[in-house]
Amino acid sequence: MMDFSAIPAALPGLWDGMQLTLQLLVLGVIGGVVLGTLLAMMRLAHNKLLSGLATAYVNYFRSIPLLLVITWFYFAVPFVLRWITGEDTPVGAFSSCLVAFVMFEAAYFSEIVRAGIQAVPKGQMSAAQALGMNYAQTMRLIILPQAFRKMTPLLLQQSIILFQDTSLVYTVGLMDFLNAARSRGDIIGQPHEFLIFAGLVYFIISFAASQLVKRLQKRLAV
């Protein structure tokens, strides 16, 4: 017989885990979009070296599992910092996971951004250049604002996927929402109840966010 009576008393601790999950999500999305935008512009550049490097980066990170990336960066980030500084620099699990999320999600965000840029009519670029704008001004003032309007629903949808993927940080012992629920359930001997509750929370948040994205997509399509 399932007993969920212990969950209300555990909510403060679970909320702490959810705060960590949301921090990873927000910072991961911001970093991923920024790096993804740079990668997208590199892929669209006429310079074959820049385009080739960006393409290789995107193809590589889209071909390996996120769990592997998290594990790699958990061990690699301290090693790289030691190689650069010559000192043992302590790096927490949060920082290494954040780097992994940014690097991994940037590959997916870059494809979304690239598609958004390509969806803008080419005449916009020509018109901006006719007005005397250089490439950087054209992208910043003309192309990217239109592109981001078109791709906002896809960016948000990828963010929902990232929210679900944050649960993978349990592999490095980071106490996110799922790990907090699992640990609390193990402590009081009710692991099934707490895992079911955690799954319900993930479902509610992801489903509600998906419905909002659909409504936004309809509004932007008008």
Question: 5 or 11: whose pLDDT is higher?
Answer: 11
Least confident of 6-10, 87-91, 126-130, 173-177: 87-91
Q: Which of 207, 45, 41 is nearest to 113 (CA)?
A: 41
Q: What is the per-residue burial (b if ≥16 Cβ within 10 Å, else e) of 184-196?
A: bbeeeebeebbeb
Query: What was the pLDDT predicted at 75?
Result: 82
Check whether 74 has a pLDDT greater than 90.
no
State how far the Cα of 187 lies from the Cα of 167, in Å rounded to an integer: 19
State how far the Cα of 100 lies from the Cα of 33, in Å rounded to an integer: 14
Check whether 90 has a pLDDT greater than 70.
no
Query: What was the pLDDT predicted at 156?
Result: 93
Query: What was the pLDDT predicted at 129?
Result: 78
pLDDT confidence bin for 68, thresholds 50/70/90: very high
**Contact between residue 36 and residue 108 where contact means Cβ atoms under 8 Å apart:** yes
Percent of the chain clearing pLDDT 70 (strictly above): 97
Please give the mean pLDDT across all residues of the chain: 89
Query: What was the pLDDT predicted at 138?
Result: 83
**Contact between residue 154 and residue 109 where contact means Cβ atoms under 8 Å apart:** no
Task: Tally the C-alpha atoms within 13 A of residue 136's C-alpha that lie toward its C-beta.
Answer: 0
Residue carrying the six token digits 């929902």: 160
Classified by CATH at the fold level, domain 8-221 comes out as MetI-like fold (1.10.3720)
Model pLDDT for residues 91-130, shown as the tens digit of each residue: 778 988 999 999 999 999 999 999 988 888 888 878 887 8
State how far the Cα of 208 lies from the Cα of 222, in Å rounded to an integer: 22
Cα–Cα–Cα angle for 40, 45, 46, rounded to 5 degrees: 155
Domain boundaries, the chain: 8-221
